[in-house]
Amino acid sequence: MNLYCLRAPGGDMRQRQLLITGGAGFIGSHLADALLARGHRVRVLDALVPQVHGEARRRPEYLSPDVELVVGDVRDRDVVRQSLAGVDAVYHFAAAVGVGQSMYEVAHYTAVNNLGTAVLMEALIERPIERLVVASSMSVYGEGLARAPDGRRIPGGQRPLEQLADGKWELEGPGGEPLTPVPTPESKPPALSSVYALSKFDQERLCLILGRAYGIPTVALRFFNVYGPRQALSNPYTGVLAIFGARLLNGSPPLVFEDGLQQRDFVHVRDVANACALALDARGADSHVVNVGSGQSITVKEVALALAEVMGRPGLRPAVTGRYRMGDIRHCFADISLARELLGYAPQVSFHDGLAELSSWLEGQVATDRVAEARAELEARGLTV
């Protein structure tokens, strides 16, 4: 695996004991690899939830044997305190993930994401550390930034349900004028359109507020659409590329909502892991939220077509539903200027290369396609239009 180590601006390379909550998952395990490669010691606290890790809840084979794994729930105060023993810095990745599912498993998402973060922060108040990095999400933006015909840049607002019911997908200004999506910077005000987005904003604010109050340097990284090996293919609420991959492996076309022309920013998991590793020593990022993406946009339909092509299944063209899913947004892709400035971050993996690597990994996997089941769950609850 190609791991790259860059030094953050003003950073050092001391060996430290690091804790990653939720670190046995997709992004956390890649971060563990990056941190081990830098000479750090890594401990992971993870509940190994069945939706991600399967009913057996075994230690993932991809998790490095050099990682110390503590199996436990981030909401368990005793387990969290024990996991913090001897720890110098924490990466807080533990979260329930999924926009659609969050709209009906409200208590679960709120408990894991909001309460779990509160329990962690109370433990850190008792035992301060030298650094906290919390994983946030581009979902907090809602619609991304847009440009009006007169050149003004305005935050994209929620699309009216009446408009969506008529199959009119694009963003419009107050007078019905078309809006053009542009890269979204951290200065765009949050527009929380799902329970998941609300909980991720709560996570980042809890960490930043209490970090400042108790002298714990903290940075929140807003991840965009992360893809790559190790995604949970049988989880219908995981990243869109993994969901498409699971469909294609089972001989089914990728299922695309709306018209498929939604623009997203797909960033390779190794680039995300590198950004997280850089944040450990990036003192200029203290108390900031920072976008972590590729800085490029691509439509969801283009992604589905490209993945089918590289997997050798070009005949499985995306099935465009013409339906809207509650909580979804139209366009959002990252302005990564601040990450370049504060972290010294520069994406290294092109989408073409990343897709080829993902395809190669997918061919050796077995996936249970639960997309139709998840879609039926949403429709039964009136969460599609």
State which amino acid sits at residue 148.
A
- pTM, to two decimals: 0.93
196 as an active site residue: the answer is yes
Higher pLDDT among residues 120 and 174, named by residue: 120
Q: Which domain holds residue 253?
A: 17-380
pLDDT at 369: 84
How far apart are the two ends of the chain, measured CA to CA in Å? Answer: 43
* 275 pLDDT higher than 80: yes
* 70 pLDDT higher than 90: yes
Establish if 92 belongs to a structural domain.
yes
Establish if 125 belongs to a structural domain.
yes
Q: pLDDT band for position 308 (50/70/90)?
A: very high
DSSP assigned state of 283: G
State which amino acid sits at residue 364.
G
How far is the C-alpha of 153 from the C-alpha of 253, rounded, in Å? 37
pLDDT at 11: 53
* 158 pLDDT higher than 70: yes
pLDDT at 364: 85
Establish if 331 belongs to a structural domain.
yes
Higher pLDDT among residues 369 and 101, named by residue: 101
CB 131 within 8 A of CB 217: yes
Establish if 8 belongs to a structural domain.
no
CB 318 within 8 A of CB 301: yes
Establish if 204 belongs to a structural domain.
yes
Residues with Cβ within 8 Å of 288's Cβ and at least 6 positions away in sequence, in order, are 186, 219, 220, 338, 342
- Say how far residue 243 (Cα) sits from the centre of its chain: 14
**Which of these is catalytic: 91, 109, 141, 196?**
196
Q: Give the mean pLDDT of 43-57.
A: 93
pLDDT at 368: 85
pLDDT at 334: 98
pLDDT at 55: 87
Residue whose token pair is 């947004």: 329
Task: Tell me the per-residue pLDDT of 186-212, one tens digit each, with 9 for 90 and over.
Answer: 999 999 999 999 999 999 999 999 999
Establish if 44 belongs to a structural domain.
yes
- Which of 67-76, 168-177, 192-201, 233-242 comes out lowest in average pLDDT? 233-242
Establish if 334 belongs to a structural domain.
yes
* 2 pLDDT higher than 50: no
Q: Give the mean pLDDT of 140-149.
A: 96
Residue from 204, 199, 203, 209 nearest 220 by CA: 204
Task: Tell me the per-residue pLDDT of 317-345, one tens digit each, with 9 for 90 and over.
Answer: 999 999 999 999 999 999 999 999 999 99
Q: pLDDT band for position 12 (50/70/90)?
A: low
Task: Tell me the per-residue pLDDT of 345-380, one tens digit each, with 9 for 90 and over.
Answer: 999 999 999 999 999 999 888 888 888 888 888 899
* 257 pLDDT higher than 80: yes
Establish if 168 belongs to a structural domain.
yes
How far is the C-alpha of 154 from the C-alpha of 325, rounded, in Å? 24
CATH number at residue 287: 3.40.50.720
pLDDT at 272: 98
How far is the C-alpha of 231 from the C-alpha of 378, rounded, in Å? 22
Q: Which tokens is 326 given?
A: 């509650």
Q: pLDDT band for position 234 (50/70/90)?
A: confident
CB 48 within 8 A of CB 79: no
Q: Give the mean pLDDT of 170-175.
A: 89
Provide the domain count of the chain. Answer: 1
According to DSSP H, which parts of 214-350 are helical?
240-249, 269-279, 300-310, 337-343
